[in-house]
Amino acid sequence: MTAPISATVVLADSDVARALKRMAHEILERNKGPDRLVLMGIRTRGIPLARRLARQISEIEAVEVAAGSLDVTLYRDDYARTGPRPLGQTSFPAEVDGKVVVLVDDVLYTGRTIRAAMDAVMDYGRPQAIQLAVLVDRGHRELPIRADYVGKNLPTSSEQEVRVHLAESDGVDEVVVATAPASAASATTPLATAAGPTRPTSPATARRRA
């Protein structure tokens, strides 16, 4: 019953690099080049991923592609339940009117973050299309949303926790699946430091402010 949390590395750093490289090619293929692309990383771990995809695309096409950052806190559907969260900056590298906005996030889970992100983008203009790129799709959607570009499909149970570590913030590139002891869901607390936008909101991760 007191079994320790088991954590399995499902993507190592070379796997992450290969996945991002393939996704960059897929984005270019689907959109017939980089001309209208605006890559928007969803805070927090989507931001370095968007930068890396932009760098890959820039290398492949030999043109500069910029990445922006998107904070969806003000568009979330749980403000009335869990209260205010700290806000982050949103910055678009270019106008979005008529562009293809590629949302980039680390883990696709319920889809609620992506719903919020689409609403946020629409407030900045009328993109020609919005697409979605995620490093990991772990299933368990609660909204009719799917990703256009997926690094890895990762079937999980909702008790499991998917942690994406990136060199920029965590010193290493890897994706880890952690399984908490079945008896206590709250045992995931020590992992809450890795909480990203798509994580299930448990009392432990729901941050409150003064």
Partner 1 sequence: MIPHLLSMQDLSVDQITAILDTAETLKEIALRPIAKVPTLRGRTVCNLFFEDSTRTRISFEIAAKRLSADVINFSAKGSSVSKGEGFKDTALTLQAMGVDAIVVRHAASGAPQQLTRWVDAKVLNAGDGWHQHPTQGLLDLFTIRERLGHIEGLRAAVVGDVFHSRVARSVVQGLLTMGAEVTIVGPPTLLPPRVDTWGTAVSHDLDAVLPKTDVLYLLRVQQERMGEQFFPSSREYARIWGVDRDRLARLPEGAVVMHPGPMNRGVEVTADAADAPNSMIQLQVTNGIAVRMSCLYLMLGGEDGRAADVGGRGSNSERVEA
Angle (deg, nearest 10), helices 13-31 and 46-61? 60
Report d(CA 194, CA 82) in Å as an integer. Answer: 19
Our finding on whether 204 is near partner 1 (CB under 8 A) is no
Report d(CA 32, CA 35) in Å as an integer. Answer: 8
**Main-chain dihedrals φ then ψ at residue 166, nearest 5 degrees:** -125, 145
Our finding on whether 82 is near partner 1 (CB under 8 A) is yes
Our finding on whether 106 is near partner 1 (CB under 8 A) is no
**Main-chain dihedrals φ then ψ at residue 69, nearest 5 degrees:** -130, 145
Region of 83-91, 130-138, 152-160, 181-189 interacting with partner 1 (CB under 8 A) = 83-91
Footprint on residues 143-182 left by partner 1 (CB under 8 A): none
Report d(CA 167, CA 103) in Å as an integer. Answer: 20
Instruction: Choose which of 71, 106, 161, 173 interacts with partner 1 (CB under 8 A).
Output: 71
Report d(CA 135, CA 24) in Å as an integer. Answer: 12
Our finding on whether 124 is near partner 1 (CB under 8 A) is yes
DSSP, collapsed to helix, strand or coil, labels residue 42 as strand
Instruction: Choose which of 81, 144, 193, 203 interacts with partner 1 (CB under 8 A).
Output: 81
Q: Which is nearer to partner 1, 124 or 139 (CB)?
A: 124
Instruction: Choose which of 12, 18, 83, 129 interacts with partner 1 (CB under 8 A).
Output: 83
Which residues of the chain form contacts with partner 1 (CB under 8 A)?
71, 74-75, 79-84, 86-90, 119, 122-125, 208-210
